[in-house]
A and B are shown apart, each in its own frame.
Chain A
Amino acid sequence: MQSLVIVAHGSHLNPGSSAPTYDHADTIRATGAFDEVKTGFWKEEPHFREVLRTVEGDEVYVVPLFVSEGYFTEQVIPRELRLDGWDVSEWNSDGLSADQATLVAEDIDSEVHYCGPVGTHRAMTDVIVRRAESVTGDPDVGEGFGLAVVGHGTERNENSAKAVEYHADRIRDRDRFDEVEALYMDEDPEVDDLPEFFESEDVVLVPLFIADGYHTQEDIPEDVGLCEDHALGYDVPTDVDGTRIWYAGAVGTEPLMADVILERAADAGADLGAALDDVRETTRVATGD
């Protein structure tokens, strides 16, 4: 029996924090690739500490719904899941390349496959592009557009910026958008000065965050100048200093994220059948004709 466990941060304050986790779990559940799909949280229930005991299967894949390698994926989750003998060297990662580690979870006294975070997977690049398609309503968006991938920055974790740069580089290499830049909230180049970094009239701004919350709904819109007060809202697109900014909100809410979760499990050995193709098809942006 094959089980998927998606672990995410959750929130004591923001009721929408868990919504993407549940949505992607539902998408994956509908493919039938796993006998069960469970969700566990740091700030909600079931907690990381107790989620594994709710799992019935014997082939268990744990995928962290986090944007980068760091404190949560390297310390908190393995500790709270009680992965016996965990050491970050199990991943042998340069900050972007964590794939999976197979360890005994003491809580259930059986092996689980602990996967790298979704945010650093190569398939995440496609989700960022898909997010740009979603927010513009154009499945072919690119020509005449700039793309800004925005991350938190290195204040707490240098890998956070690595993930943003990694995807920005990959998208730039595709020559699809006229310009692609990696911008940050708390370091240079700062998202506050977005129009200075682009010549294009239209720029899609995709924050590399899992869920919409304080950073994506309040901080970034106000810092970028989409609005003076987030409570009053903003238009998409909004003109800021001559640049039309298409603000996408957290990339983690994009339905194609379910694909990255599946890719992580597949890389760790999960048998997915046609689920990857199913998810890529069912989450596509409608062409409108």
Chain B
Amino acid sequence: MGETTADGSRDDDHDGPDIDLPSDAFDAVLDAVDGLDPDERLHFEGFSVAGESDDGGYVLDPTGDSDDSRTGLSERDLHAALAERAPRVTDWYLFERVVGEFGPRRAFLRWIEDADGATVASRYAALAAGIERDWGQLKITATVTDRGERRYDVRHADDADTPADELDAYEDPLDARDLVTFDGNGRYRPLKTAPSLAGGWVFPELGPRAVYELVETVYPATIVNWHREREGELDVTHWRETMARQSGIYGVVKTWDRGEGYEHVNWVAEACCDDSQCLKRREWEYDDETELDVDGGSGVFPCREPCSVVVSAARKWTRLESEQPRTYQFELTPSEKAQVEAIIDAVADGRIDDIREADTKEGANRYRARFLRAKLFDDEGNLGGVPTEPESEDAE
């Protein structure tokens, strides 16, 4: 794989795949040159093109100080010259004409193939082999056709090695709305960035605009926020500000901050925002001066404020945490205490379905849990026979 030389010679283009120059790309070049001011040039990697004011011909210049300029080219000559440089012309056409100006889409598609770092030749060579990128649980593989067009294969990362014909194939990015609604167990996914995306499907041949739309359908607003972050413009709204904004049934959450620290928000973040629960990288903190003590995660796209799932859960915790602790007295064997802990761990880690029916070594095994209930609960379901609300019993 060669570097582009200073004179932009055609040989470098031939290190990668053979690319034909499609007429739509050539026509776009002619249109662009027609629209140039007299002193302007249309820039490609390693060379530029302009119209000649006097005779309607074209000039093609290598970039830099070289005097190896080609002047007086007819349209046919220009076509031949651009066809020899088809990778760099089709690359220009893709990003300047097909992808469109919308910043997040353009930045995302350039990021996929490192278009702001690698040369066209090295990128086309890499695209010929397939460039893979991860976005949450998505695996995106970019390739190039013999006309210099990009094609993107998108599937669940777990299906990376599955032959495409063993997966359900889709074309319309909006079809992904149905693919993201339920997890592998058929349960509703209220949070799109939860790491519970089901696999078994593939979008094998998306174009550049469609791959953007697909990713934004699977993980809404993640590209736009990633883009803002790259531009240094991510607007983070921290916990306190977010909760202060809430109204209606969520207004109560602001009463949870009582100037007694932010430990409760650490617990919320550990419960809801860990990488095991959400693939966004948490960038919000308690407030703009107080960072939380728990890790924000390592996701490629940022989380800029507590989401609606966190706000809803916080409302519940605000009520629960307003209760005063009490002392309950009942006895557990050491193994029973450890079993209660094992059950909480299994639920918190979502491992219930993994615990085998007859694996009674596991504290969260169903038979073990049923035995504990049979032994320790009274007829009213009270652990250790101790009422949850002792005074209500006194009142009777």
Chain A residues within CB distance 8 Å of chain B:
11-15, 22, 26, 42-47, 49-51, 53-54, 56, 71, 75-76, 79, 107
How many angstroms between the C-alpha atoms of A71 and B225 in the bound complex?
Answer: 28
B248's partner among A43, A54, A76 (CB-CB below 8 A) is A76
Does B221 lie within 8 Å of A75, measured CB to CB? no
Chain A residues lying within 8 Å of B191, measured Cβ to Cβ, are: 45
B177 within 8 A of A: yes
Does B220 lie within 8 Å of A54, measured CB to CB? yes
What is the distance, in angstroms, from A62's C-beta to the closest C-beta of chain B?
A: 16
Does B308 lie within 8 Å of A15, measured CB to CB? no
A12's partner among B190, B235, B305 (CB-CB below 8 A) is B190
Query: Given A47-B307, A54-B216 in contact, is the A15-B225 Cβ separation under 8 Å?
Result: no
- A-B pairs, top 7 by smallest CB distance, nearest first, are A46-B220, A12-B190, A45-B220, A50-B221, A15-B188, A46-B221, A56-B102
A51's partner among B100, B193, B221 (CB-CB below 8 A) is B221
What is the distance, in angstroms, from A51's C-beta to the closest C-beta of chain B?
A: 7
Chain B residues lying within 8 Å of A76, measured Cβ to Cβ, are: 247-248
Name 13 interchain pairs, CB-CB below 8 A, sorted by A.
Answer: A15-B182, A15-B188, A22-B174, A43-B312, A44-B192, A44-B308, A45-B191, A46-B220, A47-B221, A50-B225, A53-B225, A76-B247, A79-B245
Chain B residues lying within 8 Å of A50, measured Cβ to Cβ, are: 220-221, 224-225, 304
Does A75 lie within 8 Å of B247, measured CB to CB? yes
How many angstroms between the C-alpha atoms of A80 and B54 in the bound complex?
Answer: 58
Does A43 lie within 8 Å of B245, measured CB to CB? no
How many angstroms between the C-alpha atoms of A216 and B192 in the bound complex?
Answer: 26
B112 within 8 A of A: no
How many angstroms between the C-alpha atoms of A13 and B190 in the bound complex?
Answer: 7
How many angstroms between the C-alpha atoms of A53 and B190 in the bound complex?
Answer: 21
**Complex interface residues of chain B between 235 and 257 (CB less than 8 A to chain A):** 235, 245, 247-248
Does A43 lie within 8 Å of B221, measured CB to CB? no
B228 within 8 A of A: yes
Does A54 lie within 8 Å of B221, measured CB to CB? yes
Does A53 lie within 8 Å of B181, measured CB to CB? no
B308's partner among A14, A42, A56, A79 (CB-CB below 8 A) is A42
What is the distance, in angstroms, from A85's C-beta to the closest C-beta of chain B?
A: 17
